[in-house]
Structure 1
């Protein structure tokens, strides 16, 4: 039998989806599962976006330009310039989800074997994108004790080598919900200028900042224009994960033209997704205000509930809709699987993502899980009850 590639062997499984077979089996046995494992919001997609899909009227479902339609990129420019990015439509490449934007940037900015530094825990699929692009992830660990704040610049400098080409951040962070401060962003700016590095900024959760905290993008920092690559998506902002429309933004013209070649190789992003995305830009502010209030309430419910469980610690995140919690368990992967295979409380259980998959450092996150507060407060409270009952009887409890 022919052998599969080494890259295929090395490709990591998603900690968000790898337990799905166990969840499917649990459902078949009649259990109700509270899905806190994945960032699939239950918030309704804006009506203006759905209506744009319903009213599509074309005779030929044609290719679009590889960089995206002019009308959508013009509309996106309006959105970004309202938040002071000072960009042109020619700075945007529309992609098939934010995932493709990240992959294109890695392929356009780094040679095989070169390195990108990423504070961890980080979005698990960065490992997969790096593997498929022959890029090496150099993790810089952050700690739950201080809420996963950005590690010191000295820690970054320890791992910078002649192969280092970029630093990547997700702000607000997935999986921790940490929101980077202006001081932290300025420190990253100076580091990128000192070592001539790209700064990748994943901003999928830009709209989800709580308690009046300020969102700072590297696009807001003067003097970094040729270093910054922003990744964005409609998935979270408009609760439209299935649209699979994202974008890559850079003012670096040489990088833009290079990235465009990769975009041309995959032909084009979807026409219908761009139509919906263009309409979505006119979503009223009231939609985001209501969503922010709802997520703030859900965050407060989940964080308070987690910290009320004996042996559990969960910092209060400043953004996104995730938390990483430390549990009194021996192994997060075993525990999350056990929750689906062997546990139920009143025929209900909880699906979570083991945090080990959000780290590159071996052994990190073994007693941590990521939970997404994408369910209503009543369901969150029921999930918390299940978790508490599970921890009381879990064979691998450590305290």
Structure 2
């Protein structure tokens, strides 16, 4: 039998999805599973999007342009302008979800062996995409005690070598919910400018910022316009994870030309998805405000409930709809698996993402989990009760 690729062996399993077989077995036993593990919103997709899907009336479902449908990109220019992100239609390339946007950005900007500096915990798929591109992730841990704030910029500079090519941030952050301040963004800008690095900025959660301060995008930063590659997606803001529509935004013409080679190789982004996403840009402000307020209420409810459980601690996330919480367990991987395999309370259990999968250092995140507050408050209340009962039982074993 021939050997499989070392690249595949090195590819990390998803901490978000790797426990799915155990969850399926629990459901087969008749156990109700509260899914706190994945950022799949339960909020209905906007009606304008659903109506656009219902109204598709074509004789042929053809390829779209490799860079995406122009009318969609033109409407996106207006959308970004609402956030003072000023781009031209040619600065935008449509991708098959935000994941492809990250992957194509890496492939277009990095050579095998190039290094990317990333604050962690970080979205686990960044590691997978870096391995695919042959790039090397160099991480700097942030701490729960400091609310996962950006580590001191001096620690970034200490990691810079002749192979360093980029810094990668997610803002607001997945998995921690941290929102970078203007000062932190300016520190990153100065480092990017000093060493002439790329700045990959994943900003798919920009709608969900829970402070009164203005939102700071990487494309707001002066003096590094040609260094920034912004990643975006409609999945979370319109509850449209399944249509797989994302985007790359960059002022750097060389990067765009390189990205387009991968876009042409994969032919085109999803046609129907783009039709739905374009219609979604007409979503009423009332919908967006209602969704924002709902997530804010869920956040407050969840964090308050978590911090009332003995031994649990979560800082207050200021963006997205995730938090990383510390639990009174020695190994969250074992605990999360145990919850699905061996525990139930009144026919219920919880599914969470072990935070170890969001770190590259195997010793970090061992007693932490990522929790997505994508369930309604009634479901969150039940999940919190089940989690507290699970911890009580587990720590008596």
Q: How many angstroms does 1:214 deviate by?
A: 2.8
- Say whether residues 1:271 and 2:276 are aligned partners: no
Query: Per-residue CA shift, 1:326-371, capped at 9, x if unaligned?
Result: 0110101100000000111101000000000001122110000000
**Secondary structure at 1:193's aligned position in 2?**
helix
Query: Per-residue CA shift, 1:271-318, capped at 9, x if unaligned?
Result: 111101111111111111101110011001110001001111100000
Aligned to 1:353: 353
- Say whether residues 1:111 and 2:132 are aligned partners: no
Aligned to 1:91: 91
Provide the rounded CA distance (Å) in 2 between the counterparts of 1:138 and 1:26: 37
What are the equivalent positions in structure 2 for 1:1-399 lying under 5 Å apart? 1-395=1-395
Provide the rounded CA distance (Å) in 1 between the counterparts of 2:190 and 2:222: 11
Q: How many angstroms does 1:224 deviate by?
A: 1.3
Provide the rounded CA distance (Å) in 2 between the counterparts of 1:274 and 1:213: 32
**Alignment size in residue pairs:** 397
Spell out structure 1 runs of 4+ moving beyond 6 A.
none
Provide the rounded CA distance (Å) in 2 between the counterparts of 1:154 and 1:361: 20
Provide the rounded CA distance (Å) in 1 between the counterparts of 2:137 and 2:215: 26
Provide the rounded CA distance (Å) in 2 between the counterparts of 1:358 and 1:129: 14
Q: How many angstroms does 1:82 deviate by?
A: 2.0
Provide the rounded CA distance (Å) in 2 between the counterparts of 1:211 and 1:183: 15
Q: TM-score, normalised by structure 1?
A: 0.98
Provide the rounded CA distance (Å) in 2 between the counterparts of 1:234 and 1:364: 31
Q: How many angstroms does 1:213 deviate by?
A: 3.7
Provide the rounded CA distance (Å) in 2 between the counterparts of 1:98 and 1:109: 16
Deviates more, 1:194-203 or 1:74-83: 74-83
- Structure 2, unmatched stretches of 5+, are none
**Secondary structure at 1:319's aligned position in 2?**
coil
Provide the rounded CA distance (Å) in 2 between the counterparts of 1:213 and 1:16: 31
Provide the rounded CA distance (Å) in 1 between the counterparts of 2:169 and 2:151: 12
Q: How many angstroms does 1:395 deviate by?
A: 4.3
- The answer as to whether partners of 1:175 and 1:323 remain within 8 angstroms in 2 is yes
Provide the rounded CA distance (Å) in 2 between the counterparts of 1:330 and 1:83: 43
Q: How many angstroms does 1:130 deviate by?
A: 0.8
Q: How many angstroms does 1:396 deviate by?
A: 7.8
Provide the rounded CA distance (Å) in 1 between the counterparts of 2:306 and 2:85: 38
Q: How many angstroms does 1:81 deviate by?
A: 1.6
